[in-house]
Amino acid sequence: MEPTAPTSVAWLFERNDALVLEAFRRGEFDYLEGVGEVCEADFFRAITQKKVLEKLADTYPSPCRKHDVPLWVYLASDISMRFHGVHHFHAFPYVVRSGGLVQAFGPRMGHKATHPQTGDVSLRCQGFNHKNDYDRQTPCDQDYLRKMARRTDAGLLQSWFNRDVVGIFQQHHALDREGIFIGDATYLFVPDNPNYEGSARLLFDEHNHPVDSGKLTAQERAGCVWRRCYKLVSLIHTNRAGQFFLYAGLEVTSGQDHESPILWRLVEDFVRFHGRGVMKRLILDRGFLDGAAIARCHQQWGIRVLIPARRNQDIYQDVVGLAEADQLTFRPWEPAAPAPRPVPVHRPERVRKREAARQKTLAQRRAEAPRSPTDPSRVRLRSEIAAVSGLETYSACPISLQAIVNREVYADGHHEYWVLLDTGPVSDPACSRQDYRLRTTIEERHRQLKGFSDLEDFSSRSFNLVVNQVVFVLLTYSLLQWYLLRTDRKELNGKTRPRTLDLLRPTTTVILIYWQGYVASLTPLQHQQLLLTLSETARKKILAKTRRLRRTLVHQLERARAP
């Protein structure tokens, strides 16, 4: 009989090549296999060796009192599915076969076996209890994953992410000292089926912005469409260079709920759970304008808020009036140039000549290309900025504000204004405008998560499962961002999930040797050299152990059930 599985992550094999090879030279090992090394295995080793997976399991709001399958196995399985962009639980067996989950946790989680009747190579997993009437081909059943996700309360799951998951990131120093956070909201569209629990049906224009049908003309209404949706309100943590994006708070709600009170509640919960001084800079869109909440952030929690003003506000009219009266000193503003791509210092002469010829051809084509007439009212010549301090005309906000006045000058001579409000002192308005550019990067995050991680491709109408998918997609995304930052691959954080995995995935095959909780990774040539230099005593011991393992594997999967 197999022992009951432990609740902690006790099956991960720690990488220690020297220790395992020393034991192998004495003829001692537990298991050996050849695998194609994939990034998922390294990802799981990283989050497990740092006890991140164990801490996630210890705090997870499980609906069960008894666990036949350890919680860390459920979490690892769910994360593995999202890692591969798979959200249908019935596809879990195929994810196990193609992914690195089994490789990361070693032979006790599962290993390859040949079916005695068909000769097909499959996985053989021990399972975690004494209830297996068939030989298992997955660590746990896909139906268990689905039922566990469905039974977990959506509110508790979101609170777990906002409090415990972010707290674990904080313990592992994943939160940057600059303390920059961005608040945003996005719609998650679903099929027009009223059985989607908690969803709302709203009228959207061609830009996917909700509109009030009572305020539209017949022509404007013709370009709109009714869509059913949820709304995701989130806090995202980054640094000033935008090198990573960690989700630090989230809430899924009905599409008709206003995002502003939800966002400010997330901010308040963040300060309560993780302490004052962690969040230092909060960048928002004008949809979150709330004078009392902005003042509370600045006075009680020491958070500098940067947010645009609306055109119909008195504070906007006042600073634009000063600009029109030439009472402000504007200076040019240019966005920070992106880091140049590295160019080899020593380039062969033929390469330099080829590049010079290419540049000459491109310049000639640009000069010869016909130019279509351009509306000068749409050609922006330059951007200018100015600052105004000590403004108190935002009556709903009981503190003085600083305004960064942005003037866009166009070719026909007209100019347009937009205004940023900052609760902290502004020594250089260019820095505040550069900070606000970080908010627009969130749109790219949402595009990637929806387009390449299927964030809103919900296969169930249960609200618990909808929230489960959102939470685990964002959890996996944040863990991967943290992993890339730890492994000094932060340049990959801005790429889509499939592209990131393509760039991470090596193409070599390695030999893994397991021994007493440790694993060594060798190339085929290293393994061959090791075998050929063994002593005769060690060779005989390894040969005897290998024969025993082969006899054991021959009889496995005799009672296999199709996955």
Task: Give 239's DSSP letter.
Answer: -
Do the beta carbons of residue 234 and residue 249 sit within 8 Å?
Answer: yes
Q: Which two tokens stand for residue 24?
A: 């192998």
Give the pLDDT confidence score for residue 37 in this predicted structure.
Answer: 46
Rounded Cα distance between 263 and 284, Å, is 10
Q: What is the pLDDT of residue 38?
A: 47
Give the dihedral of Cα atoms 91, 92, 95, 97; nearest 10 deg: -110
State the pLDDT at residue 5.
40
Say if strands 331-333 and 121-124 run parallel, antiparallel, or are unpaired: unpaired
**Which CATH topology does 154-303+440-460 take?**
Nucleotidyltransferase; domain 5 (3.30.420)
Residues in the chain: 563
pLDDT in tens, the chain (563 residues): 333 344 455 445 677 889 999 999 999 988 776 655 446 777 887 888 888 999 999 999 999 888 888 898 899 889 988 887 778 887 787 677 666 677 677 666 766 665 566 555 556 666 666 666 666 667 777 888 999 999 999 999 999 999 999 999 999 999 999 999 999 999 999 999 999 999 999 999 888 889 988 888 888 888 899 999 999 999 999 998 888 889 999 999 999 999 999 999 999 999 999 999 999 999 999 999 999 999 999 999 999 999 999 999 999 999 999 999 999 999 998 887 666 565 555 667 887 888 889 888 988 888 887 766 667 777 888 899 999 999 988 889 999 999 999 999 988 888 899 999 999 999 899 999 999 998 888 887 777 777 666 788 888 999 999 999 999 999 998 998 888 887 766 555 566 555 555 545 544 567 878 888 788 888 888 888 898 899 999 999 988 888 887 766 555 545 555 44
Residue 489's pLDDT is what? Answer: 62
Query: Looking at residue 120, what is its pLDDT?
Result: 54
pLDDT of residue 252: 97
453 in Cβ contact with 477 (< 8 Å): yes
CB neighbours (10 Å) of residue 427?
9
In degrees, rounded to 5, the angle at the alpha carbon of residue 427 between the alpha carbons of residues 413 and 437 is 60
Tell me what pLDDT residue 112 has: 62
Handedness of CA 116, 121, 127, 131 (dihedral sign): negative
Residue 519 pairs in a beta bridge with: 15, 514
User: Which contacts of 84-87 are long-range, i.e. CB under 8 A and separated by 24 or more positions?
Assistant: 84/40, 85/452, 85/453, 85/454, 85/497, 85/498, 87/454, 87/457, 87/458, 87/459, 87/469, 87/473
Residue 469, CA distances (Å) to 70, 138, 139, 154, 188 in order: 20, 21, 21, 10, 12
| Every domain of the chain and the residues it spans | 14-152+506-554, 154-303+440-460
Give residue 320's pLDDT: 93
